[in-house]
Chain A
Amino acid sequence: MSAGRNLDEGWLVAAAQRGDLDAFNELVLAYQDRVYNLAYRILGDPAAAEDATQEAFIAAYRHLSTFRGGSFLSWLMRTVANRCYDELRRHKRRPAVSWESFGEMDEEANPFLVNGHPTPEEAAQQAELARFLQAAIVALPPDQRIVLVLSDVEGMNYQEIADTVGIPVGTVKSRLARARARLRDLLQAQRELLPRAYRLEDED
């Protein structure tokens, strides 16, 4: 983020704090993809991610007075992550495509299984791989999932994750390690479903 962008962000936040809704909508347009992506990766369901994103923006506008400076994006992502975490705990939401059901799809419904056929299109493979990974991510326990998404999808460091989720840095490290190890085990267990180029070898 450039210095000019930061200046704009600060001005827009200050204007929004004074009740300027247009200024806040500028911030919405700037960050809605990041916010939606985070919500989708955590919740694993497009409709739920949409709801969480909209509610997070409304909540952010209503609680702008509690923003005390610093990175507005970090504050916004914290709001979204907390909302998604609450949603997971409240409804124990199941992902739209579960990890268990992913391998049970037939070949027509699951294009990823077409990997045995010659499929030269790399982009299509990556899209399927992303779908496969998303199903594996939502199979993780919620507390591990949020840490993994904030770290490996959003690129936050340990301290930022600790601030966002409200847990110690040591807990972030251990949860992240468990999430990665569990994801690796899931991918190894279902490696036949992965494109050949992305298959993980079993180290045992």
Chain B
Amino acid sequence: MLGKNRARERVDEWLSAYIDGALSPWEQARLEARLAQDAALRARLESLQRTVALVRGMPPVRAPRNFLLTPAMVRQTAPVARRLAPALTFATAISGLLCVILLVGNLIAAGPSRLGAAAPAPMAAYEETPQMLETGPTEAKKAPPASETALPEEGLLSRAATATEPPAPEMRAWSEGTPSPIEAAPFPPDMGGVGGGAAPGPPPGEPPEPGEEVLPTPTPEMAPSEMARVAIAEGTPPAITVAEPTPVPVPPEMPGGKPPLPPTSWLPVGGLALLTAVLAIFSLRAWRAR
């Protein structure tokens, strides 16, 4: 059905173009050959030709009145556009100029030293690290890197402990190789789990409380595995502390540097840029209306 309709449309298209003389010579010769043989096609062409002749023969309709333009008709918008276009263009230029001046002024006020000082802040923190290490526990400097001796989690635990609290007395004694005042006791075989890591042991010189487990003091002669067991039981991981200060010191002001511009200093620049864009759009429309 669709194919038949499409074929009829195609025939009508050929006949319509034939009436207008818009077929190529080859197409015209082919159509005329078919018309000579096909009476129905001839009838179709004749009805189409009569339809076109009827439309072309329609008398033209005359205008019922004059459509002359008056100044009032064309003054409705054109004069307004004429007045506004130059003013809007001027306002756009002024706004753009102010925006540029303000932008340059802000950049100068910020200065190259400020622009340079803002970026390397992390590097400054790294430069300050030795100072911080010097103020931290000396034992930490002697400790091997965490990656060599402990798992990352343990490293984190030890960092948290060393950064916030003073070193446990046991640790200090252990690292200095002095004998522990704590009385040695056999390590309970069923002792397990990992301590909190932040609980300090009893202060040196004090006897243990009754019922409190007394752990052997780690000494350099101990086997490493035993030292670890003791340290875990005490809640202080063995020899995994890396003195890495968590509070990053604020870099000192560079000599001759200026304080950073507050964010509000850039607001007028942004506002002026927006105003310039809006004015430019209206200016363009006004020039087009002219």
Chain B hits for A134, CB < 8 A = 58
CB of A33 within 8 A of CB of B62, answer: yes
Please, how many angstroms separate the alpha-carbon atoms of A29 and B78 in the complex?
Answer: 22
Chain B hits for A28, CB < 8 A = 66-69
Does B213 belong to the interface (CB within 8 Å)?
no
Chain A hits for B68, CB < 8 A = 25, 28-29
Does B4 belong to the interface (CB within 8 Å)?
no
CB of B55 within 8 A of CB of A61, answer: no
- The SS class assigned to the B binding surface is helix
CB of B60 within 8 A of CB of A180, answer: no
Chain B hits for A77, CB < 8 A = none
CB of B55 within 8 A of CB of A153, answer: yes
Does A201 belong to the interface (CB within 8 Å)?
yes
Binding site for B on A (CB under 8 A): 21, 24-25, 28-29, 32-37, 40-41, 46, 50, 53-54, 57-58, 61-62, 65, 126-127, 129-130, 133-134, 137, 148, 151-153, 155, 157-158, 173-174, 176-178, 180-181, 183-184, 187-188, 198, 200-204
Contact for A32 among B48, B58, B66, B78, CB less than 8 A: B66
CB of B64 within 8 A of CB of A184, answer: no
Interface-forming stretch among B16-24, B153-161, B184-192, B238-246? B16-24
Chain B: number of interface residues, binned into ranges: 35 or more
CB of A158 within 8 A of CB of B69, answer: no
Closest residue to B56 on the A side, CB-wise? A152
Task: Please judge, given known A-B contacts A133-B58, A177-B9, whether A58 and B74 are in contact too, CB under 8 Å.
Answer: yes
Chain A hits for B48, CB < 8 A = 180-181, 184
Instruction: With both chains docked as a complex, state the minimum distance between the C-beta of B164 and any C-beta of chain A, in angstroms.
Output: 75
Chain B hits for A198, CB < 8 A = 50, 54
Task: Please judge, given known A-B contacts A32-B66, A65-B290, A152-B55, whether A176 and B16 are in contact too, CB under 8 Å.
Answer: yes
Contact for B64 among A29, A34, A36, CB less than 8 A: A36
CB of B51 within 8 A of CB of A200, answer: yes
Chain A hits for B74, CB < 8 A = 21, 58, 61-62
CB of A21 within 8 A of CB of B56, answer: no
CB of B47 within 8 A of CB of A200, answer: yes
CB of A33 within 8 A of CB of B60, answer: yes
A-B contact pairs, 20 of them (CB 8 A): A28-B66, A28-B67, A32-B63, A32-B67, A37-B62, A37-B63, A40-B61, A41-B61, A62-B78, A148-B55, A152-B52, A152-B55, A152-B56, A158-B20, A174-B9, A174-B13, A176-B20, A177-B17, A202-B47, A204-B40
Does B73 belong to the interface (CB within 8 Å)?
yes
CB of A183 within 8 A of CB of B51, answer: yes
A157, A181, A198: which has the most chain B beta carbons within 10 Å? Answer: A181
Closest residue to A184 on the B side, CB-wise? B51
CB of A129 within 8 A of CB of B54, answer: yes
Chain B hits for A46, CB < 8 A = 64
Instruction: With both chains docked as a complex, state the minimum distance between the C-beta of B42 and any C-beta of chain A, in angstroms.
Output: 9
Please, how many angstroms separate the alpha-carbon atoms of A61 and B74 in the complex?
Answer: 8
Q: Mark B76-89, 1 if CB is under 8 A from A, else 0.
A: 01100000000000
Please, how many angstroms separate the alpha-carbon atoms of A158 and B60 in the complex?
Answer: 21
